[in-house]
Chains A and B, each alone.
Chain A
Amino acid sequence: MPNTTVNPLIVRLRARIERLEGGRAHGRAVLPFGVAPIDAALPGGGLALGALHEVAGGGNGAIDGAAAALFAAGIAARTKGKVLWCVTRQDLFAPAVAQAGLLPDRVIYVEAMDEKSVLDCFEEGLRHAGLGAVVAEVARLSMTASRRIQLAAEGSGVIGIGIRRWRRQTEAADFGQPTASLTRWRVSALPSTPLPVSGVGRARWRLELIRCRAGESADFEVEACDAKGRLALLSDLVHRPGEKEIGRRSASA
């Protein structure tokens, strides 16, 4: 990726394609993670604002969506303004969201009747320019629905995060279907940071960037959100001083 951004011909070509795709995509603002390898993997050096991003949990996380919710809360915490969080069944524990940096005064929850009305609220929220972020927990996301949501986000410049969460493990195959989202992430739990004493250390995640428009997929091992919603790369240097390549790249598409 770094090579392509340097090549002026490719940069010009890319700018032309973006102009063709729609004026707004040009010079899009981003929200950096503040973690160099992750930001380098994303075009523009961060998560694009005014766009739809999808997050799902890996393994059992596809059903409980716990890590995915915290990852989304961490991103939303780093935006400014209120956050709209749309769900169908409310099982989010607000103190944990606050521990990821998203204070309770900032989050407005909408408990919609069904999947259709969650998507409806998601889109309506993204049309409003005053919000910091809109998060929605959805199972099914069709191409049409995601395109509507993406267009709404482009119009207002608000970041939309769709937490994909299914009732059964088998339904998670739906995550392979194409949607209009800009990036697609999978967050799965890793064994926590080892401590010198007994106990559970800071949570760790495997963060897979499965799909990224105008970018390559990659995966990272990170420490979970701190109280300000920031991720951190593994600080294993004490235990493994020889390891240099921390943000591993994978060639999987």
Chain B
Amino acid sequence: MLAADAAAHAAGLRVGMPVTKARILVPGLIVMDADAAADREALERLALWVLQHYAPIVTPDPPDGLIINTTGADHLHGGEDAMLTEMVERLGASGVSARAAIADNWGAAHAFARYQANPAFVVAPGESRKALLNLPLAALRLSSDILDSLRMLGFDRIGELEAQPRAPLALRFGPELGRRLDQAVGRLSEPIDPVRSPDLVTVRRVFAEPIGAAETIARYTGKLVLHLCEALEAKALGARRLDLIFHTVDNRLEAIRVGTALPVRNAKRLTRLLCDKIESIDPGFGIELMSLTATFAEPLIGKQMISSLAGEPEIDVSSLLDTLANRVGEKRLYRFAPVASDVPERSVMRIAAMAPDADEAWTARWPRPARLLAPPEPIETVVLLPDHPPAAFTWRGIRRRVTCADGPERIFGEWWRRDAELAAVRDYFQIEDDAGERFWVYRAGDGEDPETGSHRWFLHGIFG
């Protein structure tokens, strides 16, 4: 048996069992022949999908893994944690149960993904080696013979092996063991040969003399972008995602990835986006090859501009948004849109900055505070129950006397979201203190029935 799904695991079947034994354990078991070639092809397709969506340097790691170099790519997804979680979730939605880890190098990430991630795991930079020492030896990508004999010698964890003198081990097990150990802790580099699809538009430039200065890189980036734009124009495409990969003389890969909100074929704009990121590149001893790929491209056909006769054209701000998105991250650039909910914190939703206009706003019946505190802060009040506003309250250690108030505005819990909100009620008051500052406070509960809430008071917002 080579693979088993979750249901098979639950039935007690394990990888490595003979099929006959499995058939006896589970009557009516569905057994399929392993098709290594098809698996490899599917893995390659998955690698291309990851390449288009997540990171510029990806390669399949047969039989069941993908190696992704995420350097310079996580900023488009709101950081490493967010990217990894989203990746695992999206794979899960399409029926692939995946585990993923980010670590300092290939070997460590390989080990964490298989022995630590559940389903995602990110090691802080520089911490990989320490975290690795507790993992079992099987995480080292060694052949089963070596593993068996190591186990017989009493080795169990990577840390124990790491503490041993290297020479006797090498004498007994050959160079393989030392190499894998060095790769795992990052003493030995392991180049990644990135997967490329022939459909992608790629331009490359080889340098006779390695280059390293930022100005030189910028100049050649501009030239590559020009060539790429010509190639894109021939196919009537616009780039949504660009990868600029640098091959350094010491066989490392450095990458820059930029994304745009709409397909773009404007050489000046793309060059600017790429050149913004050059400072994140470490050229080392020099760069000998640069390759620029439009990893993700969409059809872009020229269209007629609106003439000034028919009114003012809306000026396009997408170039600005692209620049900002590549600096701070796409997730940090958004608009607010109304949601049909009376609960204040649920009445707004973040949408993409370039999303089409919603043409609706909140139904403004009551004034709303300019600043909303999240979470609401508890206040001490002097108040007449059941339905009077507070006469005085203490917030952040300052006591304020209330001169006038408006309310209550009763907001009911949304029982269709959570059962606990079935009876919940909040009574909101707009109150003004003697200095003229206006606050939005509420009482949890209707003031009579303890079922509806705790009857404690909270300050939820500050009016301007």
Contact = CB atoms under 8 A, between A and B. Distances in A.
A91 B373 CA distance: 7
B335 A105 contact: yes
B359 interface: yes
B438 A189 contact: yes
Interface in A91-119: 91-99, 103-105, 107-113, 117
B464 A66 contact: yes
A248 to B, nearest CB: 17
A67 interface: yes
Interface stretch (A39-47, A171-179, A199-207): A199-207
A138 interface: no
A65 B368 CA distance: 15
B93 to A, nearest CB: 27
B327 A125 contact: no
B338 interface: yes
Contacts of A66: 369-371, 462-464
Nearest to B373: A91
Contacts of A68: 464
Nearest to A109: B334
Interface stretch (A8-16, A22-30, A190-198): A190-198
A247 B245 CA distance: 63
A29 B374 CA distance: 40
- Size range of the chain B interface in the assembly: 35 or more
B464 A96 contact: yes
B316 A130 contact: yes
Interface in B370-391: 370-374
Contacts of A67: 370, 464
A110 B328 contact: yes
Contacts, number: 163
Nearest to A60: B437
A99 B372 CA distance: 15
B373 A130 contact: no
A18 interface: no
B435 interface: yes
A124 B312 CA distance: 24
A34 interface: no
Interface in B191-237: none
A131 B405 contact: no
B368 A99 contact: yes
A199 B404 contact: yes
Which residue of A66, A92, A95, A128 has the most chain B CB atoms within 10 A of its CB atom?
Answer: A95
B364 A99 contact: yes
Interface string A214-247: 0000000000100100000000000000000000
Nearest to B331: A111
A195 B403 CA distance: 12
B459 to A, nearest CB: 11
Nearest to A125: B320
A111 B320 contact: no
Contacts of B359: 105
Contacts of A205: 464
B327 A120 contact: yes
A124 B323 contact: yes
A121 B338 contact: no
Nearest to B334: A109
A96 B371 CA distance: 8
A241 to B, nearest CB: 23
B404 A108 contact: no
A93 B372 CA distance: 6
Nearest to B338: A104
Nearest to B348: A94
Given A111-B328, A128-B320, A203-B463, A69 B347 contact: no
A78 B105 CA distance: 53
Interface string B403-436: 1111000000000000000000000001110111
B319 interface: yes
B11 interface: no
B461 interface: yes
Nearest to B372: A93
10 contacts: A65-B371, A93-B371, A105-B358, A108-B333, A113-B332, A124-B323, A188-B436, A198-B405, A199-B406, A200-B438
Given A95-B344, A99-B367, A192-B436, 15 more contacts: A64-B371, A67-B370, A70-B370, A93-B348, A95-B348, A95-B362, A104-B337, A105-B357, A108-B321, A131-B317, A189-B464, A191-B435, A200-B406, A203-B463, A224-B464
